[in-house]
Amino acid sequence: MSQSITSSIIGSLQQDSTFDDWWRSVPTPIPFFDNQPLEILFMDLDPTVDIDFIAKADTALSHFMQLTNQDRFAITELAFQNCMDFLDAVEYDEADEPLHQIKDKNDIWDFIYPSEIYISLRHKDQDMYVQIACNCEWEQEHGLLLVFKQGKKLTRISPQDGHLTEGDAYGKPDSEDELLRQFNL
């Protein structure tokens, strides 16, 4: 029998049927994506042990829910560059031609499809991170991941690889992680 927990921001989350330490919301309108409804998951949470997790997650989620499509367009250059870097690294495929033909960089968002939002604690810095898992036209296998430290500011854009920071992904110190370093300034 699944259990539930309560977020002051999004209400009830049900325990995931596959992973006992994941808690899933009903689809919730996300202002960052023009109020597109997405499920939000609290990850790696044992509510009997992690007493402060929900409050910390709610704080990060509260910050994130204040971000709008204007904030999304503010990171367009990074999303567009992620696409172009990928296309430059792979052999030309005619199916990618619409991506090569993008004239207005804001149109990159027409090729990005958010699927779920994950809230998790990074143990290294004890901060909450909001991750948006997306499918995208250029990287069908690994998709795209947008990570916001404390739900406030983008600190990573990458394929979905299970890492919250570039430092974690590549074994380098946080001080060498460009986007994360900018958050800390």
pLDDT at 11: 96
Q: Give pLDDT < 70 ranges for the chain.
A: 1-2, 184-185
pLDDT in tens, 137-158: 999 899 999 999 999 999 999 9
Q: How far apart are CA 10 and CA 64, in angstroms?
A: 12
pLDDT at 185: 52
Length of the chain: 185
Nearest to 27 by CA among 12, 15, 47: 12
Residue type, 100: H
pLDDT in tens, 28-49: 999 999 999 999 999 999 988 8
Q: Which two tokens stand for residue 100?
A: 């090569």
Nearest to 14 by CA among 33, 35, 40: 40
Q: What is the pTM of this model?
A: 0.94
Residue 42 vs residues 6, 7, 67, 118: alpha-carbon distances, Å: 11, 10, 19, 6
Other C-beta atoms lying within 10 Å of the C-beta of residue 127: 17
pLDDT at 57: 97
